[in-house]
Structure 1
């Protein structure tokens, strides 16, 4: 936030040398505005090295017609002793937008703060939802899959002036380790559009967490019951070949015949919705073009079962991969091809 520059400065000091606080929280110069808590007293403080003995006053631009008490009163010139000036501002219990204007008799420059007069509780001003929806997020688990993005939006309630007010998102994980998700804009970075693209980090474990939306001087809004799913699909499914669980050392296919490969959901596991089967690698004559799958390789399917036909008269090792659609969550299957007679 920059001071107005329509006036010449007659002394070497200016408002840029001052620091401001609202309710003892510093107000950075680049902040687009400050919040005044409606129905409560708010302490506004300005500190500057040149303030001692200087007369200053606080003005109010109030196009919304809000009632805001001030002590000292708005427009009252006050000589200051020391380097700090302080006002107590008490808006009545209505929300809206105003502007605070700082002036001094000693120089012509003025400084202005846009202000949002709002509840001290962010949930009184809006709610969280997903992109494309105007309905508040329902209670229950909110799933974030590895490498998959969901857009979280904080929507204003009717008559709330919160549009354009800086909010930021942070993650509170319930297990130790790095943050389970990333965000664009970055976590803990104020943004005025109130949207965050939240992406699950690729990691082979589940992490429970809360998303916390916060604004300066306000009780945060908490999106609870979030979970970042594991990137290892074997945490959720059992791999079977011809209805028999595949052992740890790999699946054994017979050449020249079709075998049914399936992924069976474990009890209590989340829905994978759609998955794809990929032929991953092989050696020698084991080229992907010689393997046939129904449904086709790389085709998204809801039923997690494939008939895989392997080439005959050859043997060797290859790999298949089952991967969740639009996610990096996957299960890699070590496979061996043996002649039909074995």
Structure 2
């Protein structure tokens, strides 16, 4: 599956070779199953139980005798045509082998040698299934248990760690994998990732963070490796950053109108957020006194539970100062997320 552009030095003519100019490995490229692989990848994958076409192309290859060697500490059975260790003259700038591993996973190294040049080239290979799910599974939140069926929630500005874990006896550790997002609605990606999306990593671990946006987006997370059927984490959803999509704000058990909530000075009023039917659990939320003018300072407002204290029950008794009036704002925000609902509020003297 992949063509490796080799870096690594200068290849010089051996004794008795009539041409004196140097040849750089940067002029050579490798492909596996007709797919090029960037030179800086740590190796390539051979599909176990299947034929794999390995090619090397270089402008200096014409007329040069080369052979392919195998370092096989795992004892895997791998057929090769031409055979491993067989010298063969090449006409043109491309050489080709067919490699057929047995139906077992493991690690080997391929070595390229030439009669005419002193330098050899070696790179590692992972012999694995062509289906990534045969080699491992996805987990999150540090668990070793496979990710459960059903909806996987990602909240705005909240990170969850997605890990691809190897199955027993799989050699996939250290093999480059990358994560991409396939959204089911138009627009920008609903999540970001560290490492970046579409960037190969050998750690097999991604911190996935929901983007702050006032809408829900359904998507799949796709984990892929060179030449392999990807592993798909389906039924993912990035929740809206607008909590009003999920809750109804009430003051003294009456829904707050669109123009804002009206509090009475000198008394306590119950502010609550009531989940809409079918809405997701918010788990813990916090109430913030946001702003006011004139004598409406935050220190003069009292909340039970306290402002900025994480609570599971979304209800607060808010006591407002007396003998004053004005406009202020409260904010309900999901714990560890930027998802929030801002509430416009008015304070009126108790006599009104």
TM class by smaller structure: over 0.9
What is residue 322 of structure 2 aligned with on the other side?
312
TM-fit CA distance, 1:2: 16
Equivalent residue runs for 1:92-171 within 5 Å: 92-171=102-181
TM-fit CA distance, 1:106: 1.5
Moved more, 132-141 or 325-334: 132-141
SS state at 1:113 partner: strand
What is residue 221 of structure 1 aligned with on the other side?
231
Change (3 A) 1:249 1:129: same
Give CA deviations for 1:132-152 in whole Å, capped at 9, x if unaligned.
211100100000000000000
CA contact (8 A) 1:264 1:304 kept: yes
TM-fit CA distance, 1:131: 3.4
Count residues with an aligned counterpart. Answer: 342
TM-fit CA distance, 1:20: 0.6
Relative to the length of structure 2, the TM-score reads: 0.94
CA contact (8 A) 1:322 1:331 kept: yes
Give CA deviations for 1:148-197 in whole Å, capped at 9, x if unaligned.
00000000000000000000000000000000000000000000010000
User: Cα RMSD between the aligned structures?
Assistant: 2.7
TM-fit CA distance, 1:9: 12
CA contact (8 A) 1:278 1:298 kept: yes
What is residue 321 of structure 1 aligned with on the other side?
331
TM-fit CA distance, 1:105: 1.3
SS state at 2:299 partner: helix
SS state at 2:188 partner: coil
What is residue 337 of structure 1 aligned with on the other side?
347
Q: Distance in 2 between matches of 1:290 and 1:235?
A: 31
TM-fit CA distance, 1:10: 7.2
CA contact (8 A) 1:207 1:229 kept: yes
CA contact (8 A) 1:3 1:15 kept: no
CA contact (8 A) 1:51 1:82 kept: yes
Deviating 4+ runs (over 6 angstroms) = 1-10
Change (3 A) 1:250 1:42: same
TM-fit CA distance, 1:70: 0.3
Moved more, 317-326 or 106-115: 106-115
TM-fit CA distance, 1:16: 2.6
CA contact (8 A) 1:39 1:93 kept: yes
- Unaligned runs of 5+ residues in structure 2 are 1-10
Q: Distance in 2 between matches of 1:3 and 1:230?
A: 64
TM-fit CA distance, 1:8: 16
CA contact (8 A) 1:9 1:108 kept: no
Relative to the length of structure 1, the TM-score reads: 0.97
Moved more, 254-263 or 7-16: 7-16
Q: Distance in 2 between matches of 1:10 and 1:160?
A: 46
Change (3 A) 1:337 1:108: same
Q: Distance in 1 between matches of 2:20 and 2:172?
A: 37
CA contact (8 A) 1:47 1:84 kept: yes
Equivalent residue runs for 1:39-54 within 5 Å: 39-54=49-64
CA contact (8 A) 2:112 2:120 kept: yes
TM-fit CA distance, 1:50: 0.6
Q: Distance in 2 between matches of 1:120 and 1:104?
A: 31
